[in-house]
Amino acid sequence: MMIRTLLAAAVLASFTVVATDAEAKRVRSRSSGASDAPAAKKPKDDEDKVGARRLTKEDEDKLAARKPKSDSDSGSGPSVRFSSDRSASQPAAGPAAVIPMPAAAAAAPEDEAARKAAEEAKRKRAEELAVLQQKFDGAAAWMLNSLQGDTEITGNQLENMRNATFPSPLLNYKAAGMTVELLPRATVAGKEYIALRLAPKTGSAVTMYLDPATFFVMRTSAKVNTPEMGELDNSSEVSDYRDVAGIKVPFVIVNANSAQAVTIKLDKVEHNVPLDDAIFSAKLPRP
Protein backbone atom coordinates (compact mmCIF):
# COMPACT_ATOMS: atom_id res chain seq x y z
CA MET A 1 0.00 0.00 0.00
CA MET A 2 2.84 2.31 0.87
CA ILE A 3 4.51 1.59 -2.53
CA ARG A 4 1.29 2.39 -4.50
CA THR A 5 0.93 5.67 -2.57
CA LEU A 6 4.50 6.72 -3.36
CA LEU A 7 4.12 5.86 -7.05
CA ALA A 8 0.87 7.83 -7.29
CA ALA A 9 2.50 10.82 -5.63
CA ALA A 10 5.48 10.69 -8.03
CA VAL A 11 3.18 10.49 -11.08
CA LEU A 12 1.08 13.39 -9.78
CA ALA A 13 4.24 15.44 -9.16
CA SER A 14 5.44 14.68 -12.70
CA PHE A 15 2.15 15.88 -14.24
CA THR A 16 2.28 18.94 -12.01
CA VAL A 17 5.79 19.85 -13.29
CA VAL A 18 4.76 19.42 -16.92
CA ALA A 19 1.56 21.39 -16.46
CA THR A 20 3.38 24.14 -14.58
CA ASP A 21 6.03 24.40 -17.31
CA ALA A 22 3.43 24.45 -20.09
CA GLU A 23 1.46 27.16 -18.24
CA ALA A 24 4.64 29.23 -17.85
CA LYS A 25 5.27 28.93 -21.56
CA ARG A 26 1.76 30.18 -22.35
CA VAL A 27 2.25 33.13 -20.01
CA ARG A 28 5.59 34.02 -21.64
CA SER A 29 4.05 33.63 -25.11
CA ARG A 30 1.20 36.03 -24.25
CA SER A 31 3.52 38.60 -22.68
CA SER A 32 5.93 38.47 -25.62
CA GLY A 33 3.09 38.84 -28.16
CA ALA A 34 2.09 42.16 -26.54
CA SER A 35 5.53 43.69 -27.17
CA ASP A 36 6.79 45.16 -30.46
CA ALA A 37 9.75 42.76 -30.93
CA PRO A 38 8.92 39.03 -31.27
CA ALA A 39 10.49 36.71 -28.69
CA ALA A 40 13.22 34.44 -29.98
CA LYS A 41 12.32 30.77 -30.27
CA LYS A 42 14.03 28.60 -27.64
CA PRO A 43 16.31 25.94 -29.05
CA LYS A 44 14.77 22.50 -29.39
CA ASP A 45 17.40 20.94 -27.14
CA ASP A 46 16.47 23.27 -24.26
CA GLU A 47 12.78 22.37 -24.55
CA ASP A 48 13.56 18.68 -24.45
CA LYS A 49 15.65 19.13 -21.30
CA VAL A 50 12.74 20.53 -19.25
CA GLY A 51 10.41 17.74 -20.47
CA ALA A 52 8.00 20.05 -22.39
CA ARG A 53 5.98 18.68 -25.28
CA ARG A 54 7.16 19.10 -28.88
CA LEU A 55 5.67 21.95 -30.97
CA THR A 56 2.58 20.98 -32.87
CA LYS A 57 1.66 22.20 -36.36
CA GLU A 58 -0.73 24.71 -34.77
CA ASP A 59 2.07 26.11 -32.56
CA GLU A 60 4.39 26.49 -35.57
CA ASP A 61 1.67 28.39 -37.48
CA LYS A 62 1.22 30.78 -34.54
CA LEU A 63 4.95 31.40 -34.30
CA ALA A 64 5.18 31.98 -38.06
CA ALA A 65 2.36 34.56 -37.86
CA ARG A 66 4.39 36.59 -35.34
CA LYS A 67 7.67 36.52 -37.38
CA PRO A 68 8.67 39.77 -39.15
CA LYS A 69 8.05 39.76 -42.90
CA SER A 70 10.98 39.39 -45.26
CA ASP A 71 11.68 41.69 -48.23
CA SER A 72 9.88 39.29 -50.58
CA ASP A 73 6.77 39.20 -48.31
CA SER A 74 6.60 43.00 -48.06
CA GLY A 75 6.64 43.45 -51.82
CA SER A 76 10.01 45.16 -52.03
CA GLY A 77 11.40 42.33 -54.15
CA PRO A 78 14.19 39.85 -53.52
CA SER A 79 17.49 40.97 -52.07
CA VAL A 80 20.31 41.37 -54.56
CA ARG A 81 23.90 40.23 -54.17
CA PHE A 82 26.46 41.61 -56.65
CA SER A 83 29.26 39.40 -57.87
CA SER A 84 31.94 42.12 -57.84
CA ASP A 85 34.12 43.00 -54.88
CA ARG A 86 31.99 46.10 -54.28
CA SER A 87 28.89 44.02 -53.41
CA ALA A 88 25.90 45.28 -51.52
CA SER A 89 25.35 43.93 -47.99
CA GLN A 90 23.25 40.74 -48.07
CA PRO A 91 20.19 40.68 -45.78
CA ALA A 92 19.85 37.73 -43.43
CA ALA A 93 16.49 36.61 -44.86
CA GLY A 94 14.92 36.45 -48.32
CA PRO A 95 16.01 34.91 -51.63
CA ALA A 96 19.16 36.26 -53.28
CA ALA A 97 19.58 36.99 -57.00
CA VAL A 98 23.19 36.98 -58.26
CA ILE A 99 23.69 39.60 -60.98
CA PRO A 100 27.08 39.39 -62.78
CA MET A 101 28.70 42.81 -63.18
CA PRO A 102 30.11 43.90 -66.59
CA ALA A 103 33.91 43.83 -66.74
CA ALA A 104 34.16 47.61 -67.17
CA ALA A 105 31.86 48.34 -64.21
CA ALA A 106 33.57 45.77 -62.00
CA ALA A 107 37.04 47.29 -62.55
CA ALA A 108 38.67 48.40 -59.34
CA PRO A 109 39.34 52.15 -58.85
CA GLU A 110 43.05 51.38 -58.74
CA ASP A 111 42.90 49.88 -62.25
CA GLU A 112 41.07 52.93 -63.62
CA ALA A 113 43.62 55.28 -62.05
CA ALA A 114 46.48 53.25 -63.53
CA ARG A 115 44.88 53.38 -66.98
CA LYS A 116 44.49 57.16 -66.84
CA ALA A 117 48.06 57.56 -65.63
CA ALA A 118 49.33 55.47 -68.54
CA GLU A 119 47.33 57.55 -71.05
CA GLU A 120 48.65 60.79 -69.56
CA ALA A 121 52.24 59.51 -69.70
CA LYS A 122 51.74 58.50 -73.33
CA ARG A 123 50.39 61.95 -74.20
CA LYS A 124 53.33 63.66 -72.51
CA ARG A 125 55.82 61.47 -74.35
CA ALA A 126 54.17 62.40 -77.64
CA GLU A 127 54.43 66.10 -76.77
CA GLU A 128 58.07 65.75 -75.81
CA LEU A 129 58.85 64.00 -79.09
CA ALA A 130 57.11 66.66 -81.22
CA VAL A 131 59.53 68.96 -83.02
CA LEU A 132 58.28 72.27 -84.43
CA GLN A 133 60.46 74.54 -86.53
CA GLN A 134 59.67 77.80 -88.32
CA LYS A 135 62.12 78.68 -91.07
CA PHE A 136 62.30 81.96 -92.95
CA ASP A 137 65.12 82.74 -95.35
CA GLY A 138 64.03 86.30 -96.12
CA ALA A 139 61.71 85.27 -98.96
CA ALA A 140 60.00 81.94 -98.21
CA ALA A 141 58.92 80.34 -94.94
CA TRP A 142 58.03 76.85 -93.78
CA MET A 143 56.52 75.24 -90.69
CA LEU A 144 58.17 71.88 -90.00
CA ASN A 145 56.06 69.65 -87.74
CA SER A 146 57.30 66.18 -86.80
CA LEU A 147 53.76 65.00 -85.99
CA GLN A 148 51.53 66.66 -88.59
CA GLY A 149 53.95 67.13 -91.48
CA ASP A 150 55.53 70.20 -93.09
CA THR A 151 53.58 73.10 -94.58
CA GLU A 152 54.64 76.23 -96.44
CA ILE A 153 53.77 79.54 -94.76
CA THR A 154 52.05 81.98 -97.11
CA GLY A 155 49.74 85.00 -97.18
CA ASN A 156 49.32 87.18 -94.10
CA GLN A 157 51.55 84.99 -91.96
CA LEU A 158 54.43 85.28 -94.41
CA GLU A 159 54.01 89.08 -94.61
CA ASN A 160 54.15 89.34 -90.82
CA MET A 161 57.37 87.31 -90.73
CA ARG A 162 58.94 89.70 -93.22
CA ASN A 163 57.94 92.68 -91.03
CA ALA A 164 59.33 91.16 -87.82
CA THR A 165 62.90 92.36 -88.31
CA PHE A 166 65.54 91.50 -85.74
CA PRO A 167 66.17 92.71 -83.08
CA SER A 168 63.16 95.13 -83.28
CA PRO A 169 61.07 96.62 -86.08
CA LEU A 170 61.48 99.99 -84.34
CA LEU A 171 65.17 99.98 -85.27
CA ASN A 172 64.59 100.84 -88.94
CA TYR A 173 60.82 101.30 -89.27
CA LYS A 174 61.15 104.32 -91.58
CA ALA A 175 63.36 102.48 -94.05
CA ALA A 176 60.90 99.57 -94.03
CA GLY A 177 58.02 101.94 -94.89
CA MET A 178 56.24 101.57 -91.54
CA THR A 179 54.36 104.27 -89.68
CA VAL A 180 54.36 104.53 -85.87
CA GLU A 181 51.53 106.10 -83.89
CA LEU A 182 51.58 106.92 -80.17
CA LEU A 183 48.37 105.68 -78.57
CA PRO A 184 46.88 106.59 -75.18
CA ARG A 185 48.42 104.61 -72.36
CA ALA A 186 46.90 101.16 -71.97
CA THR A 187 46.34 99.04 -68.89
CA VAL A 188 46.83 95.28 -69.27
CA ALA A 189 46.37 92.89 -66.30
CA GLY A 190 46.42 95.84 -63.89
CA LYS A 191 49.66 97.37 -65.24
CA GLU A 192 49.94 100.56 -67.27
CA TYR A 193 51.98 100.61 -70.50
CA ILE A 194 53.05 103.03 -73.21
CA ALA A 195 51.22 101.91 -76.35
CA LEU A 196 52.55 102.25 -79.92
CA ARG A 197 50.84 101.17 -83.13
CA LEU A 198 53.09 100.03 -86.00
CA ALA A 199 51.44 99.89 -89.43
CA PRO A 200 53.50 98.21 -92.19
CA LYS A 201 52.89 98.51 -95.93
CA THR A 202 51.59 94.91 -96.01
CA GLY A 203 50.67 92.58 -93.24
CA SER A 204 49.03 93.12 -89.87
CA ALA A 205 49.30 96.26 -87.77
CA VAL A 206 51.02 95.58 -84.44
CA THR A 207 50.39 97.23 -81.06
CA MET A 208 53.47 97.34 -78.84
CA TYR A 209 53.30 97.82 -75.06
CA LEU A 210 56.38 99.36 -73.41
CA ASP A 211 57.25 99.49 -69.71
CA PRO A 212 57.12 103.22 -68.71
CA ALA A 213 60.11 102.79 -66.36
CA THR A 214 62.50 100.81 -68.58
CA PHE A 215 60.97 101.31 -72.08
CA PHE A 216 61.39 97.57 -72.65
CA VAL A 217 58.83 96.00 -74.98
CA MET A 218 56.77 93.74 -72.71
CA ARG A 219 53.91 92.74 -74.98
CA THR A 220 52.75 92.88 -78.61
CA SER A 221 49.36 92.08 -80.14
CA ALA A 222 48.09 91.75 -83.71
CA LYS A 223 45.32 90.16 -85.76
CA VAL A 224 46.62 87.33 -87.95
CA ASN A 225 44.83 85.50 -90.76
CA THR A 226 45.48 81.76 -90.94
CA PRO A 227 44.27 79.30 -93.61
CA GLU A 228 43.17 76.81 -90.96
CA MET A 229 41.27 79.03 -88.47
CA GLY A 230 40.74 82.40 -90.14
CA GLU A 231 41.48 85.59 -88.20
CA LEU A 232 43.03 85.15 -84.76
CA ASP A 233 44.10 87.62 -82.06
CA ASN A 234 47.76 86.84 -81.48
CA SER A 235 49.70 88.11 -78.50
CA SER A 236 53.31 87.80 -77.42
CA GLU A 237 54.50 88.50 -73.88
CA VAL A 238 58.17 88.65 -72.97
CA SER A 239 59.91 88.60 -69.60
CA ASP A 240 63.14 87.72 -67.81
CA TYR A 241 65.28 90.35 -69.52
CA ARG A 242 69.00 89.64 -69.17
CA ASP A 243 72.09 91.48 -70.24
CA VAL A 244 73.92 89.72 -73.08
CA ALA A 245 77.03 91.54 -74.24
CA GLY A 246 75.50 94.91 -73.32
CA ILE A 247 72.11 94.19 -74.94
CA LYS A 248 68.94 93.40 -72.95
CA VAL A 249 67.37 90.19 -74.20
CA PRO A 250 64.14 88.52 -72.94
CA PHE A 251 64.73 84.86 -72.11
CA VAL A 252 61.02 83.93 -71.81
CA ILE A 253 58.51 84.43 -74.63
CA VAL A 254 54.87 83.34 -74.52
CA ASN A 255 53.02 83.36 -77.85
CA ALA A 256 49.27 82.80 -77.53
CA ASN A 257 45.99 82.98 -79.41
CA SER A 258 42.51 81.53 -78.96
CA ALA A 259 43.71 78.13 -80.22
CA GLN A 260 46.94 77.55 -78.32
CA ALA A 261 49.76 79.00 -76.25
CA VAL A 262 53.46 78.30 -76.73
CA THR A 263 56.13 79.16 -74.15
CA ILE A 264 59.72 79.62 -75.35
CA LYS A 265 62.52 79.60 -72.78
CA LEU A 266 66.03 80.44 -73.90
CA ASP A 267 69.02 78.76 -72.27
CA LYS A 268 71.77 80.73 -73.95
CA VAL A 269 72.04 83.74 -76.29
CA GLU A 270 75.10 84.72 -78.32
CA HIS A 271 75.46 87.68 -80.66
CA ASN A 272 77.18 87.75 -84.08
CA VAL A 273 77.90 84.02 -84.21
CA PRO A 274 78.64 82.82 -87.78
CA LEU A 275 75.71 80.78 -89.16
CA ASP A 276 75.34 78.83 -92.35
CA ASP A 277 72.52 80.28 -94.46
CA ALA A 278 71.52 76.72 -95.36
CA ILE A 279 69.96 76.17 -91.92
CA PHE A 280 67.24 78.69 -92.88
CA SER A 281 66.36 76.87 -96.10
CA ALA A 282 62.92 75.35 -96.25
CA LYS A 283 63.58 71.63 -96.34
CA LEU A 284 66.85 71.15 -94.52
CA PRO A 285 66.80 67.68 -92.89
CA ARG A 286 66.26 67.75 -89.14
CA PRO A 287 69.22 66.88 -86.92
User: Domain spans of the chain?
Assistant: 1-32+40-67, 118-153, 168-269
Compare 130 and 7 and report the one with higher pLDDT.
130
Reported as a pLDDT band with limits 50, 70 and 90, residue 26 is low
The per-residue pLDDT for range 47-96, each reduced to its tens digit, is 444 445 566 777 777 776 765 554 444 444 444 444 444 444 444 444 44
CATH for 168-269? 2.50.20.10
3-class SS letters over the chain: CHHHHHHHHHHHHHHHHHHHHHHHHHHHHHHHHCCCCCCCCCCHHHHHHCCCCCCCHHHHHHHHHHCCCCHHHHCCCCEEEECCCCCCCCCCCCCEEEECCCCCCCCCHHHHHHHHHHHHHHHHHHHHHCCEEEEECCCCEEEEECCCCCEEECHHHHHHHHHCCCCCCCCCCCCCCCEEEEEEEEEECCEEEEEEEEECCCCCCEEEEECCCCCCEEEEEEEEEECCCEEEEEEEEEEEEEEECCEEEEEEEEEECCCCEEEEECCCCCCCCCCCHHHHCCCCCCC
The pTM for the full model equals 0.52
Reported as a pLDDT band with limits 50, 70 and 90, residue 194 is very high
